[in-house]
Chain A
């Protein structure tokens, strides 16, 4: 972690030191304020791990004696250089062995982590918490557009083309709202045009859907978008497969997303997700249930890192909350609070953990059981939005009302 310059410390006073969040606007330091907001400096990809992944197995606090005390059967062993143990990152943290493919990213400095981030809302419901992360509005659970959609709406350089794309889920809330999103269903079928590839059929269908109602408009958009998708993916999949066999899971969706965003430069914001993280029982340690999820995740993230290689590209890996620091009675973990949040990108000050970390001693845990939330997830996301994408203060404040600029994270993004 980089120490704060002394001048900033003085400015911050005691509020940050005590870990409380200040009500107020997201005010980035002047030096980073941009004259013209633009999202064309790079592309943003959000990967949501639905079900609350166990960050304490991904980013192992290996030198903390409380870690193995709290997790007698599921702790990932301290690094000893073999594949059965975690992989040392620094004096405090180590990587789960199934995440080994991410090690080169860490070493080259394009992978960074915030070990104890989360939502200010204390809900332990997956569905409510996911809603908060997807709207960026943790103080309300009512309907509001997703924050990626609202972000896209703020881009003044946006053309009339569709800027948002999701691969996998039918209609993720984070993308939903007034700005149009391309939604690509999961699986190989995404590369096929189907019956609308036939001119006569397409014309007949378009006539049936020629009205000005929402259904008809959506259908017509769908025809246009699907013809494009199938063309772009067909070429990509033929080129990429090259005898390698079909990739499954996140890595396939990562490749599809990359191919489509490459083919259509208007697409600037992408969304992927992976599920199966709600490990209440028998989650395993170096191997097992969770390890297989991590292996899938690592492959997907490595793919994204390879495909999103422009200076301004950024990948965010989020999950709705963390899991209990201690294992439960079934060798699993229950719903917790703070969690590790990851960023991948050329402008990320990678190879280090950013923000505060207080260890797992009982007195430092939330309600005596969970990693606390030491950094508001919105304050984490605001850093690259301001400093990579140039989103100005007032827009940040509109996007994440009530969140506060967190200066202890000012080292997260490198100057371009």
Chain B
């Protein structure tokens, strides 16, 4: 690990700081340990000791930040572990990255009641095929009935066709509708599977005994970065598998491996139509001709790697799509992926000035692997990923200097995400009180669920999923490949804040006074909460402004 730099001056920022939250202004300053004392790694002398110190987080604030950002909430055990660490919160955070990495190399401890999440891909494919056939049967029956009725009255009836895809409505409602629409009132297994996938996400973010919280955080981040949408029928059965087997094992490994795992997963192959991207002129069924589909190639450059200003053109999109022709799903094999030479465009292509295929070049599947590696190693990719990580973990508008250092580390380490994360948590910017973050609905739900979950009772997962759907952040339910935004500008809106109080009240039912939580709060908040009867204190604690920051 490179030495940690102390920066006496606050680094310049990206543009103006819009909409900064004043949460800290509400928090009465504690006359406790200063942050530097709490987080300074002992091996590094404080060379800037003589310079005026910027205001630092208190120890309590540092614990809150470490646990809430490198996880979702400070459980008593985690808070104690952070406080007990010889290297302070920063030392704990560095160790936590290693623990999350180790956990990512082990299979997830998925509870027995969520078997769909770990089902083998070939079984998922077989189930999906069976379900599709049943659906077609139902549509044909309905269409025959409609045709009989419509024979007398043309120009009617058409839009009464059963809807094959229901979009837009929040996930649980959508699933209800799908369930209700199924003719035999039997819940399709893909609906159950998608619900289990969403349930796993909530359990893994709220229960540290099941999943390392930082690993859950990293999985959230990278899933969202390479988002897929459970509302698409073809994608729906694969979402849980994608999260667990394409994203989770790679979140602290090399970015190139993560990218490749995503590119080859059926969820992504279906979601961005890569399974239909074939060489122009490929013969299709019934005498049709198939060809290029540029959907995945575009989002691969625009969202997963280079970014919109990453210096590619429409021509590059087209050429990259040609490079990737033949990458498609395998319904029978264990990986769900296969490369089909027959569907591959064997001509010469040029992407970002580099030649692929054609005479004398490595061809076939190799072209795509090399193109992904090239994209993963570009400086534009390093900058984009570093900016997004810094936005997710540090501030909505992170200091440019931090982003630059992360990008340099990304390039120097060949995209080693663990090293980038180490640099991020070791940075003074991560611990700077000015770099505030407001909880997204997902952050709020995970942390509130975590605080309120008791060993005896099963967590109220459906209630929480319903909250997230109406809050506009349904789990696995963002329709477009850009993923959710995570900034306060998006989520800090008036009516939605009041809805957080509803979930707080529902989750806090039966809880006593959450003393552990209140210890982190500002004195005025604690004082107000103590004035209500003990049975209502947990609800207020979860709805308090102090609980909305991370």
Contact = CB atoms under 8 A, between A and B. Distances in A.
Interface string A106-149: 00000000000000000111111000000000000111000000
Nearest to B233: A289
Contact of A100 (B158, B282, B469, B479): B158
A185 B21 contact: no
A344 interface: no
B454 interface: no
Counting chain A CB atoms within 10 Å of each CB, the highest count among B161, B470, B472, B497 belongs to B497
B230 to A, nearest CB: 13
B119 interface: no
B276 A329 contact: yes
Contact of A218 (B470, B494, B505): B494
A259 B165 CA distance: 28
Given A101-B159, A214-B21, A222 B494 contact: yes
Interface string B480-502: 10100000011111111111011
Contacts of B273: 280-281, 330, 332
A124 B298 contact: yes
B168 A281 contact: no
6 contacts: A127-B482, A204-B531, A208-B544, A214-B492, A250-B168, A280-B276
A208 B540 contact: yes
A289 B161 CA distance: 11
A357 interface: no
A215 B488 CA distance: 10
B173 interface: yes
Nearest to A288: B164
Contact of A219 (B15, B291, B469, B494): B494
B158 A83 contact: yes
Interface stretch (A40-48, A187-195, A391-399, A402-410): A187-195
A216 B161 contact: no
Nearest to A217: B494
Contacts of A334: 293-295
Interface stretch (A63-71, A291-299, A371-379): A291-299
A335 B156 CA distance: 32
B540 A215 contact: no
B251 interface: no
Given A98-B159, A101-B159, A214-B22, A171 B490 contact: yes
What is the interface residue range for chain A against chain B?
35 or more
Interface residues of B, number: 84
B168 A275 contact: yes
A51 B504 CA distance: 35
B494 to A, nearest CB: 3
B314 interface: yes
A216 B540 CA distance: 15
Interface stretch (A24-32, A176-184, A263-271): A176-184
Given A51-B479, A195-B501, 14 more contacts: A50-B480, A51-B480, A170-B471, A185-B496, A201-B501, A204-B532, A215-B545, A225-B495, A274-B168, A278-B480, A292-B164, A330-B290, A330-B291, A331-B288
Nearest first, the 8 closest Cβ-Cβ pairs linking A and B are A329-B291, A170-B472, A222-B494, A213-B22, A330-B276, A295-B159, A276-B167, A194-B502
Interface string A210-253: 01111110110111011001000000000000000000111000
Interface string B279-316: 01010100011111111001000100000100000100
Nearest to A73: B288
Contacts of A171: 472, 489-491, 493
Interface of B: 15, 18-23, 25-26, 150, 154-159, 161, 163-170, 173, 177, 272-273, 276-278, 280, 282, 284, 288-295, 298, 302, 308, 314, 317, 438, 469-473, 479-480, 482, 489-499, 501-502, 504-505, 525, 528-529, 531-532, 536, 539-540, 543-545, 548
Nearest to A180: B494
Contacts of B505: 194-195, 201
Contact of B167 (A82, A87, A170, A275): A275
A170 B496 contact: yes
Given A124-B298, A183-B495, A208-B540, A281 B489 contact: no
B540 A204 contact: yes
A212 B498 CA distance: 17
A185 B466 CA distance: 12
A281 B293 contact: yes
